[in-house]
A and B are shown apart, each in its own frame.
Chain A
Amino acid sequence: MNLTANSPIQLLSSMMLIRASELKISIEAKKQTFKTPIHLAIGQEAVAVGVAMALRNSDTVFGNHRSHGHYLATGGELTSLFSEILGNADGCSGGRGGSMHITSRKTGFMGSMPIVGGTIPVSLGAALAHKRSGSKGVSVVFFGDGAAEEGVFHESLNLAAIMSLPILFVCENNLFSSHLHISERQKSSKIQRFAEAHQIESHEVDGNDVRKVSEMSNKLIKVMRSESKPAFIEAMTYRLFGHVGPEIDEEIGFERERDLKTWRKRDPIERELNDLIREGILSRETFATLSEEINQSVIDCWERAHRGVNPDESTLLQNVLMDF
């Protein structure tokens, strides 16, 4: 990948924005400012950011229950996300979706839904629309290792391959489905094997290395745009917070305390920051300023969102169907 002078800092600042936003959400969740269940992707930011940098607004992206990062990395407005989490009328989903159903159509983030694996086949249809229109657009779907245990995942890989659809499957393999380690769910921890079975080009990347993710995404998406075919990235990562809620859940699951120590050392933001400093692209001082700016904008967005109101009761039955 040919990194322009700005792009490394862009990768870092996008990850920082996601981290700061999710930390803010976790603080407010602890204060019980809202009830909607939150699934934080703290520790996994590099996957969303690395992939998103290869995309255009006319591409289409589908998420899952853990999608704040996907939404923000692809350019979704932070205030609308916060408003949605607060259940407000001006939220990205009008206060009908909460944290698990978010969308930003104009930036290409089509939507997230919490049925595990549920959006994988939906993303194929958007890919088919890209292919038929000749726009060279691509579709991307983010899912976890748990989704690989759903039958529809297999169906989708087969369809994508046989129909030559421009779809990038991005598996964020964080080794856990809720509390259950992958070794207790599958015979192998390599999700890539399913793509291989369907003759889809697949690559494993260090999901905590934003440059590696970005480089791989750029490479694959460039080919997909010209050849219309699927590709698969398995990004190895780890979530530093619990499956659901604002806690770190140190006591839950298979040797989590030990793993947390290991994975904190691989924090994608720390790693990218250290690289940039070592390369002389960023100074500690500039980082401090950047950090302050991002934190301030998160606070501002939260306050703006907080001034919103919940939808009026009279809107309950609106937009169930379009025509009525």
Chain B
Amino acid sequence: MTKFVDSIRLAFENELARDKDLIVIGQGVWSPFYVGSSMKDLDKKFGKERIIDTPVSENAVTALALGYALMEKPIVVIHPRMDFMILALDAIVNAAAKWRYSLDWKTPIPLTIRAMINRGGEQGAQHSQALHSWLSHVPGLRVVMPSQPQDAYELLVQSIRSPDPTIFIEDRWSYDINSEFTFNQNLQPLALEGPKVLVEGSQITVVGIGHSTNLIIDSLEFLRGRGIAEVIDLRVVKPLKIETILSSLAKTKRLLVVDASWNDSGVAGEVISMVMEKIDFQLKLQPQRLTLPESPAPTSSSLESAYYISGSEIHKKIEKMLKSLT
């Protein structure tokens, strides 16, 4: 058994030992207040020349990381709170996503941007945002969001080895998820990864994005009888692949997408659109999504618990969809 947070550290430890050119850079990488225990002692083991804590300059540090990757050397830049990464969008959207295409570069650009969603705990609107939908709008980027320890390890290793600028998004709420873990060095290229079925079921397909998948798994405890809900972890947000979801729907004919980010123009809606464009059979009812309310994140705990999605909320939604005949 391995915890999500430990599997991230393991991925770093493994890759730093394997590739001497790999460096990790970002604010707070020497401090547990920023990165939890995900980077524990890596600076001691690999040196502060390779694990670099930085000034408060999200944009320049991210662009610097791109410049290092342009020299075909792998680098991970860490944004301990995704909200602050907004300041780096020029580097990500204008530079990293465009360099290969606009300059027709044929060499690898091994840049990984690790973004952490760090919400709850009365932190409020600027310590909470899940902005994967924005990044998924931009051609030239890969975006991955693990929810399980095995995937946290594998997708991070695959991102580091990927020749394309890749955004690796993790949720601090997943850190204590503890599950079976197999150490595996021989991983396929990131480009071959897509959604995965985590739990099999026959009545409804429930797709989770990032930590939402863990909430879906929580909701199964409330469902009477097993094998009702088929849980699919989206894992790769961009490029989005929906074949696994379509196969599942052929069986269940019901689709619910859960994403703990805002509704409008979001990935949950994108999954549903792509499904509806490609599906060649009738669903039992129109696809549904469960997303955050249309407001910034509040602080007060009463409002916070109303704001965030819970396992029981997902359960209620599933029950309602199972009862619906239309």
Interface residues of A (CB under 8 A from B): 60, 62, 92-97, 101-103, 105, 110-111, 113, 115, 118-129, 132, 139, 151-152, 155-156, 158-159, 162-163, 319-324
Contact = CB atoms under 8 A, between A and B. Distances in A.
Contact of B60 (A94, A103, A156): A156
Contacts of B90: 115, 118, 152
Given A103-B105, A118-B94, A125 B68 contact: yes
Contacts of B107: 105
Q: Give the one of B68, B71, B75, B139 with max A CB within 10 A.
A: B71
B296 interface: no
The 4 closest A-B pairs by CB, nearest first: A125-B67, A94-B104, A121-B63, A155-B60
Nearest to B111: A125
Interface string B253-292: 0000000000000000000000000000000000000000
Contacts of A128: 23, 64, 67-68
A126 B140 CA distance: 21
A80 to B, nearest CB: 11
Nearest to A62: B67
A125 B104 contact: no
Contacts of B167: none
B27 to A, nearest CB: 12
Interface residues of B, number: 48
Contacts, number: 143
Given A115-B95, A159-B61, A321 B67 contact: no
Given A93-B102, A151-B59, A152-B59, 7 more contacts: A120-B63, A125-B63, A128-B68, A129-B71, A155-B60, A156-B60, A319-B101
A122 B70 contact: yes
A124 B164 contact: no
B164 A118 contact: no
Contacts of B52: 163
Contact of B100 (A92, A113, A159, A319): A319
A162 B107 CA distance: 30
A222 to B, nearest CB: 22
B66 A122 contact: yes
A322 B65 contact: no
22 contacts: A60-B71, A118-B91, A120-B63, A121-B62, A122-B63, A122-B66, A122-B91, A122-B95, A124-B64, A124-B67, A125-B68, A125-B71, A127-B67, A129-B68, A129-B71, A132-B73, A152-B57, A155-B55, A155-B59, A156-B60, A321-B191, A323-B189
B69 A320 contact: no
Contacts of A110: 70
A247 B66 CA distance: 36
A93 B99 CA distance: 10
A113 B102 CA distance: 9
Nearest to B73: A129
Interface in B103-151: 103-109, 139-140, 142
B66 A97 contact: no
A46 B181 CA distance: 61
B305 interface: no
A323 B70 contact: no
B188 to A, nearest CB: 11
A129 B75 CA distance: 10
B80 to A, nearest CB: 17
A125 B71 CA distance: 8
B66 A125 contact: yes
A146 B81 CA distance: 31
Contact of B103 (A111, A124, A132, A322): A111
A319 B104 contact: yes
Contact of B140 (A95, A151, A321): A321
A105 B107 CA distance: 10
Contacts of A111: 99, 103
B210 interface: no
Contact of B54 (A96, A103, A159): A159
Contacts of A132: 21, 23, 49, 73
Q: Give the one of B64, B66, B105 with max A CB within 10 A.
A: B64
A234 B103 CA distance: 28
B212 interface: no
A155 B57 contact: yes
Nearest to B162: A323
A323 B106 CA distance: 11
Contact of B191 (A121, A127, A163, A323): A323
A322 B109 contact: yes
Contact of A159 (B64, B73, B139, B190): B64
A60 B67 CA distance: 10
Nearest to A130: B71
Nearest to B49: A132
B28 interface: no
